[in-house]
Structures are given as C-alpha cells and as structure tokens.
Amino acid sequence: MERRGGDRDEKSKFDLLEDSRIDSGIESFGSYHSTMSSVPDHRSGREEQDKLSTDERVDSSYGSSSLTTESLSDLLGKCNVSGARTDQGSPNLHLHITPVDYTEEEGNLLTTVTEDGDTFLHLAIIHEVEEFAHQLINLFPKEILDIQNNLYQTPLHLAVYLNQVSVVKGLVASGACLELQDQDGNTPLHVACEQGRFDCANEMLRYASPSMLTPVFETQNWRGLTCLHVATLHKQHRIMKMLIKKSVDLNIQEGTSGKTALHMAVELHDVDAVILLLKRGANVDAAMLNGCTALHLAVGRQDIAITSHLCQAGADKMIRNIEDETALDLADGNDDILALLPFDDIQLMGRTVSLNY
C-alpha cells in the first residue's frame, strides 16, 4: 500500500494486535482493554471542544470520543496501515507511522477502545473516513471486526445505518458476523430492512447460501420481528423481493401475536406487498395466535381491494377465530365486502358442507 507520508524512511512500528484473538461481544471489552493499549485522559480544553455535539451523533455511543473527522483524516494522512494474514488466519499486523511529531499516546489511538466501547474502526465509520475504515478492515482479524460497543453495535451495524456500502462489502468479505444483535435486538440486516438500505442488504446477502442465511432470517429482535417483518412494516418492497429470492420463510410468525408478513401487509393496507407475498407462495390462510387469518383482518378493516385479492388466492371464508367469528361475520353489512363473500357453504355438525348445484 502506498504511503501517504512522502518518501521519508520508516522510523517506528507499533504492533497493533499481534496474535491476540478474543471473543466478540460486549463481555469481551475487559480482555480487549487488557490486550490493547489504552489512551490516558490527556485531552486539553481545546480538544474537549472538538467533541461531536449531540446533534451530530447518530447515537449516544459517539459522544465520548475527542476524535473528529479532521483528526481522523490527519492520522490517515500521516499513517500507513498495512497487514497480512498467514494461511492459518492468524494476523501478522503492523502500523507504520512516518516520522512526524506524534507521541506514543497518539500512536496508541490506533489500538484503543473508548469508554463507549468503540474501536477505532467504529470511529472511522462514524466519522465517515471510509478509506481508513477499509485499511482497518484489512488489518483487523475477524474477532475484532465483530467487537460490539456499549450499544451492542458492531462496525457492520454502523456501516449499514450510515449507508456505507463499500465498507459493508469489505466487512462481509472479511467474515463479519451477520447474526450479532444490537441493544434493540436488531441484526445489521434488520437495520437495512428498517432504513431501506437496499445496496447494503444486497452486499450482506449476495454470496451467502440459503442455509447460511436461515439463522439470520429467523432471528427476532426484542419486539419479536424478523427481517422480513421489518421490511414489510416499512414497505421496503425491493428488500422483500431480495429476501424472498434468498428463500426466506414467507410464513414465519413474529413473536408477540403470531402475525406473518401477509397479516402485516393487510394491516398496512399495502396492496403491493399483499400481491407480492401471495404470488410468491405465502399461505393465505395462515392464522395468528388469536385465530385470525389475513381475510379476517382485511374484512374487519373494510379493505375491499385486499379482500378481493385474498379471495382470488383461495382464502377460506369459513375459518373461525378464537371469538368464533368467520370473515363474513366481520363484514358489518358492507355490501361490497359481502359480494366478495357469498354464503354458499353451510355448517353441518361442525363441518363445512359445500352446496353444489
């Protein structure tokens, strides 16, 4: 990698990680601090003023660092980060610093975890110094790439949130984990589905096989929602199509009331999502925990268009929920709805009997 410090001779090297490898996650911060160099609190009053204001933060993890975009760019201009891995995957890593007036503490910024749990890679992504982020991705072993800050965010979470597609691509190519969850239980793919980060989602899913993605697709956040549910709730149709192409389970139920994506699309009056899910094979008669099908919800909401699509898809009009109600019982005298639900079946000793003439 070409140096940015000119043609001066190299005078010093700092070993960043040597052969240390730790488990990812919030509980690893203690060992990370003991393995990596920490920075003494030597900030001046002027440096304190350089901290990001609250309005500039993406979330609360970003506020404690005195590093700014300018200081990161300055380090990038004066440092050349390079690294290589052995065939066994163990790192052989060094930081090359050109001969400038940098103290040892300033050099140790490159091996620091802040009080908010952010690694230097977190901070490079936060401050959108993407070139430096790529150098650190090439430098760090997988375990460091998956370090979670105090909000349980990995660098991949942040890169997706900030729509840094090339950084997402680099992290995924280096083996960053797709299953780690932040403080809300969201994986990076949940974040992409919520924020509409189609390109980021594409990079995370592009080379993964369906079997590799199954655990990711089944992961629920703390509200009981999988990625498909989140994409449906936020009407991210392109991402929904991508998930379907990767064999996501269309009938997976969320963890609170047992809704499928089809139930959610009906509740949102999202005709396009309903059509998409039905065409791709969603179970039209899937029932929530209370026994309601999508047809119950559509009729109850007096949604004629969606009721029509569900009927055309073969929805069973006689299914009863736990209140012993069929969809017909919920029509509430709406003639347009009733026209879609002809009463052509009768119940005989609890069994539906079709009347054929």
Q: Distances from the Cα of 193 to the Cαs of 172, 243, 340, in angstroms?
A: 17, 10, 34
Q: How far apart are CA 252 and CA 255, in angstroms?
A: 9
Residue 287 in any domain: the answer is yes
Asked if residue 150 and residue 197 are part of one domain, the reply reads: yes
193, 224, 249 - which closes a domain: 249
pLDDT at 140: 81
Asked if residue 278 and residue 232 are part of one domain, the reply reads: no
Total domains in the chain come to 2
State pLDDT tens for residues 34-88: 333 333 333 333 333 343 333 333 443 333 345 555 665 565 555 444 443 333 3
pLDDT at 210: 80
pLDDT at 86: 32
How would you list the strands of the sheet with 91-97, edge to edge?
Answer: 12-14, 91-97, 79-85
pLDDT at 212: 87
- Could you tell me which residue, 108 or 181, shows the higher pLDDT? 181
Residue 57 in any domain: the answer is no
Instruction: Reply yes or no on whether the pLDDT at 109 is more than 60.
Output: no
- Could you tell me which residue, 279 or 114, shows the higher pLDDT? 279
Average pLDDT, the chain: 76
Asked if residue 219 and residue 115 are part of one domain, the reply reads: yes
Q: How far apart are CA 36 and CA 16, in angstroms?
A: 7
Residue 72 in any domain: the answer is no
Residue 143 in any domain: the answer is yes
Q: Distances from the Cα of 260 to the Cαs of 20, 26, 88, 278, in angstroms?
A: 44, 32, 44, 12
pLDDT at 100: 42
Query: Which residues have CB under 8 Å from 103's CB, separation 6+?
Result: none
Query: What proportion of the chain, given as a percentage, has pLDDT over 90?
Result: 55
Please classify residue 294 by burial: count the beta carbons closer than 10 Å to its beta carbon, then call 0-12 exposed, 13-18 middle and 19+ buried.
buried
Residue 312 banded pLDDT, cuts 50, 70, 90: very high
Residue 13 in any domain: the answer is no
282: CATH: 1.25.40.20
Task: Kindly state the average pLDDT of the residues 230-247.
Answer: 97
Helices (H), ranges, the chain: 29-35, 45-49, 69-78, 104-107, 120-126, 130-139, 142-145, 155-161, 165-173, 188-195, 198-205, 210-218, 227-233, 237-245, 261-267, 271-279, 294-300, 304-312, 335-340
- Could you tell me which residue, 333 or 280, shows the higher pLDDT? 280
Residue 352 in any domain: the answer is no
Task: Kindly state the average pLDDT of the residues 215-233.
Answer: 98
Asked if residue 126 and residue 204 are part of one domain, the reply reads: yes
Task: Kindly state the average pLDDT of the residues 289-317.
Answer: 97
- Could you tell me which residue, 343 or 203, shows the higher pLDDT? 203
Please classify residue 223 by burial: count the beta carbons closer than 10 Å to its beta carbon, then call 0-12 exposed, 13-18 middle and 19+ buried.
middle
Reading phi first (left if > 0) and then psi (alpha if -120 to 50, else beta), residue 6 is in: left
pLDDT at 138: 86
State pLDDT tens for residues 131-168: 989 988 988 888 889 999 999 999 999 999 999 999 99
Instruction: Reply yes or no on whether the pLDDT at 108 is more than 60.
Output: no
Asked if residue 108 and residue 241 are part of one domain, the reply reads: yes
Asked if residue 190 and residue 163 are part of one domain, the reply reads: yes
In the numeric block, which tokens belong to residue 25? 């996650």
State the Rg of the chain over Cα: 27
Asked if residue 258 and residue 233 are part of one domain, the reply reads: no
Task: Kindly state the average pLDDT of the residues 81-107.
Answer: 40
| Reported pTM | 0.72
State pLDDT tens for residues 159-213: 999 999 999 999 999 999 999 999 999 999 999 999 999 999 999 999 888 888 9
Asked if residue 260 and residue 225 are part of one domain, the reply reads: no
Domain that holds residue 310: 254-343
pLDDT at 154: 97
249, 273, 296 - which closes a domain: 249
Residue 177 in any domain: the answer is yes
Q: Among 90-99, 299-308, 309-318, which stretch is predicted with the lowest mean pLDDT?
A: 90-99
Q: How far apart are CA 313 and CA 255, in angstroms?
A: 26
